[in-house]
């Protein structure tokens, strides 16, 4: 990728009481990209997030935000970070707008025009002057997102941001988050245990297990590599697959072939030439949950407050 990463985790390691919780973690996070962070219970997700927010110091390695070390230049580096942890705490007796005014005073150069801008970005224009106590949970999450964006952060950390939201609220939050990542060029880092939601929200997924990064993959536009073929006779399908150097495995009534979309016409032509009767050729899309369970050996998906 030609873009320069906004955040770089370099050889990040954390040892507590002789136990290595994070082991030499290397990860780059890019502008305008939403990266999901997954791991089984106890994998080290929360420890990593605490180090990224400056709440915990690494034993070894460093975190760079726009090239500045979080350890050496803490104030400058952390000023580029916005954080939402689960359900953001707001003053419920005050309006959404007054809450944002209050938080704006904690930062330099956040004027009323900027407050209005973030209110529009999260779609709260019609309710911003009403008390937070009248807001739904989804609206409070969006107000929390507005608050985290006030100082124009380059890096946004979200820990279980859709926890407790209904499907409509999750969809709303996802829509606004993707829009903000694209329009503001913010690098977004999302930790969640809702795998189906992560699949829709994120551009790529980083998976951690036993404190080590075991996989990082693009979520969208990933080349399909498994197709299910139902045809007769199957022995001829196997012969064609061998002739074309295609890996396959037997399934009920058919075969699973490891091919790309571009190879399908070649396969069909070869099968027709062998007078094979083709009943179905279907892509077999593995869900993120299936991929996750395969990679982690069936480990439980990390839930909120995982240590």
- The pLDDT of residue 307 is 37
Mean pLDDT of the chain: 85
Tell me, yes or no, whether 172 and 112 share the same domain: yes
The whole-number average pLDDT for the span 151-175 is 87
- If one compares 301 and 306, the residue with the highest pLDDT of the two is 301
Q: How many domains does the chain have?
A: 2
131 forms beta bridges with 95
Q: What is the pLDDT of residues 59-76, one digit of tens each?
A: 999 999 999 999 999 999
Tell me, yes or no, whether 53 and 145 share the same domain: yes
In angstroms, how far is CA 172 from the centroid of its own chain? Answer: 16
Q: What is the pLDDT of residues 213-266, one digit of tens each?
A: 887 877 654 445 778 888 888 888 888 888 888 888 888 788 888 887 778 888
Quick one: tokens of 32?
Answer: 């305008």
The whole-number average pLDDT for the span 199-210 is 87
Q: Do the Cβ atoms of 196 and 190 come closer than 8 Å?
A: no
Residue that finishes a domain, picked among 180, 201, 218: 218
CATH number at residue 256: 3.30.70
Residue 292, domain member (yes or no): no
Residue that finishes a domain, picked among 193, 218, 243: 218
Residue 67, domain member (yes or no): yes
Tell me, yes or no, whether 16 and 127 share the same domain: yes
Sheet holding 34-38, edge to edge: 81-85, 155-159, 187-191, 34-38, 204-209, 212-218
Proportion of the chain above pLDDT 70, given as a percent: 89
Determine if the peptide bond prior to 233 is cis (ω within 30°).
Answer: yes
CATH number at residue 106: 3.40.50.300
Residue 205, domain member (yes or no): yes
Residue 32, domain member (yes or no): yes
- The pLDDT of residue 40 is 81
Residue 168, domain member (yes or no): yes
Q: Which domain holds residue 260?
A: 227-283
85 forms beta bridges with 159
Say which residue the tokens 């954390």 belong to. 14
Say which residue the tokens 């809450």 belong to. 99
pLDDT confidence bin for 288, thresholds 50/70/90: low
Tell me, yes or no, whether 12 and 35 share the same domain: yes
Residue 297, domain member (yes or no): no
Residue 300, domain member (yes or no): no
Tell me, yes or no, whether 54 and 180 share the same domain: yes
CA angle 221, 226, 228 (to 5 degrees): 130
The whole-number average pLDDT for the span 26-31 is 94
Phi and psi at 184, nearest 5°, equal -95, -10
Q: How far apart are CA 249 and CA 241, in angstroms?
A: 10
Q: Do the Cβ atoms of 83 and 147 come closer than 8 Å?
A: no
Residue 26 has pLDDT above 90, yes or no: yes
Q: What is the pLDDT of residues 41-52, one digit of tens each?
A: 888 888 999 999
Residue 29 has pLDDT above 90, yes or no: yes
- The pLDDT of residue 297 is 65
3-state SS, residue 118: helix
Residue 285 has pLDDT above 80, yes or no: no
Residue 288, domain member (yes or no): no
HSE of 210, CA atoms in CB hemisphere, 13 A? 4
């Amino acid at each position: 990728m030609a873009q320069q990463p906004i955040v770089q985790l370099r050889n990040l390691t954390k040892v507590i009481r002789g136990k290595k919780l994070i082991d030499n973690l290397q990860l780059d996070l890019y502008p305008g990209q939403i990266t999901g962070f997954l791991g089984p219970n106890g994998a080290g997700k929360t420890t990593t997030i605490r180090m990224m927010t400056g709440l915990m110091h690494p034993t070894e390695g460093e975190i760079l935000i726009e090239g500045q070390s979080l350890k050496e230049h803490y104030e400058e580096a952390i000023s580029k970070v916005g954080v939402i942890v689960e359900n953001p705490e707001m003053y419920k007796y005050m309006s959404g707008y007054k809450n944002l005014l209050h938080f704006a005073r904690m930062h330099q150069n956040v004027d009323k025009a900027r407050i209005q801008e973030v209110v529009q970005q999260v779609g709260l224009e019609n309710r911003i002057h009403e008390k937070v106590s009248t807001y739904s949970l989804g609206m409070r999450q969006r107000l929390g997102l507005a608050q985290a964006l006030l100082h124009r952060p380059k890096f946004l950390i979200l820990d279980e941001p859709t926890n407790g939201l209904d499907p409509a609220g999750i969809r709303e939050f996802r829509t606004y988050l993707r829009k903000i990542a694209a329009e503001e060029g913010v690098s977004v880092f999302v930790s969640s245990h809702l795998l189906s939601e992560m699949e829709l929200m994120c551009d790529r997924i980083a998976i951690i297990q036993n404190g080590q990064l075991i996989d990082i993959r693009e979520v969208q536009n990933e080349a399909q590599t498994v197709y299910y073929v139902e045809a007769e006779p199957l022995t001829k399908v196997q012969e064609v697959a061998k002739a074309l150097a295609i890996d396959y495995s037997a399934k009920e009534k058919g075969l699973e072939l490891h091919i790309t979309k571009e190879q399908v016409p070649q396969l069909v032509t070869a099968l027709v030439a062998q007078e094979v009767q083709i009943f179905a050729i279907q892509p077999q899309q593995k869900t993120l949950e299936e991929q996750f369970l395969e990679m982690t050996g069936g480990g439980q998906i990390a839930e909120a407050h995982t240590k």
